[in-house]
Amino acid sequence: MQKFDGKTVLITGGSSGIGLASAQLFQSEGARVAITGRTESSLARTRDLLGPKALIYASDTGKTSEIDILFADLGKRFDGLDILVLNAGIAAPAPLEAITEGAFDELLAVNLKGVFFSLQKALPMLREGSSIIVTTSITNRLGSPNFSVYAACKAALRSLVASLSLELIPRKIRINAVSPGPIATPMFSRLGLPPEISAAIQNEITQKSPCHRFGAPEEVARTILFLSSDESSYIVGQEIVVDGGMSLL
Ligand SMILES: NC(=O)c1ccc[n+]([C@@H]2O[C@H](COP(=O)([O-])OP(=O)(O)OC[C@H]3O[C@@H](n4cnc5c(N)ncnc54)[C@H](OP(=O)(O)O)[C@@H]3O)[C@@H](O)[C@H]2O)c1
């Protein structure tokens, strides 16, 4: 008997990095997994990695129309949801004067609106005893130059988790957050930075980190599985930081 035998899991942003590592770990513990992503190439790779039992959805979490389509289909394939991991996110570093309205709207659509409406649309499927995990970021408490809008979205998620946890606990649904520090995922190569600047930033983070390394996606995934399981049954509306001590500096 595996820990998540018979449990159903949906992971948004499950085609890369932390979400993909979580999907693989849930599968190895017996869960039936559905994931979303946007990019066809990463979805195809994920299909190969997770195999035919996994449900793979191309679904832009920044668009409520696509969230509706996702849950309409998922409802036909799963008779309920035990675990919802709201993990899809994007970052786009820029100083204050360079942030356009379009870039601002996109960051909010994916990192905040998408999380809120995915949760709302998932609610009819969530079983009594289910668990929701939201991926925030240690930037939500730190000053994060050039990541102001991203960090503000993540701070808003921390607040949503606290408020909604009190709304949903009477239904026996728990919501918590996992707050990663620097984790070695493809996110860094997607920041749009020149390779030499990206390498210099990553080197600086490595030097600064109390652990002198980036975290592995699996180290965050293990926390997501803990928050999804009955082992965390009395943890409600909290955020667990997984950052190698970075936010303590
Ligand atoms: N890596 C870090 O250091 C770090 C630190 C703190 C917090 N986080 C947070 O951790 C979460 C996962 O990040 P990661 O590092 O694993 O990044 P990643 O490797 O870039 O993965 C991001 C995932 O989100 C998906 N995604 C992005 N925009 C989407 C959209 N509009 N609709 C649906 N899916 C979308 C991506 O799908 P496609 O591949 O198809 O685009 C991908 O599956 C994010 O919320 C991020 O903010 C990461």
Question: What CATH number should be reported for the domain holding residue 45?
Answer: 3.40.50.720
- Overall pTM > 0.85: yes
For the chain, residues with pLDDT lower than 50 are: none
CA of residue 110 to ligand 1 center, whole Å: 10
Q: pLDDT tens for residues 34-68?
A: 999 999 999 999 999 999 999 999 999 999 999 99
Q: Reply yes or no on whether 57 is catalytic.
A: no
In a domain, 90, yes or no: yes
In a domain, 1, yes or no: no
What is the domain extent for residue 199? 8-242
Residue 188: per-residue pLDDT: 86
Residue 89: per-residue pLDDT: 98
60 lines ligand 1 (CB under 6 A): yes
Count of structural domains, the chain: 1
DSSP 164-202: HHHHHGGGT-EEEEEEE-SB-SGGGGGS---HHHHHHHH
**Cα–Cα distance for residue pair 18/135, rounded to 1 Å:** 9
Residue 15: per-residue pLDDT: 98
In a domain, 248, yes or no: no
Of all atoms in ligand 1, which is nearest to the CA of residue 214? Answer: 3
CA of residue 27 to ligand 1 center, whole Å: 19
Q: pLDDT tens for residues 118-147?
A: 999 999 999 999 999 999 999 999 999 999
In a domain, 60, yes or no: yes
Residue 81: per-residue pLDDT: 98
Q: Which residues does 154 contact at the CB level (< 8 Å), separation at least 6?
A: 111, 136, 137, 139, 140, 179
In a domain, 74, yes or no: yes
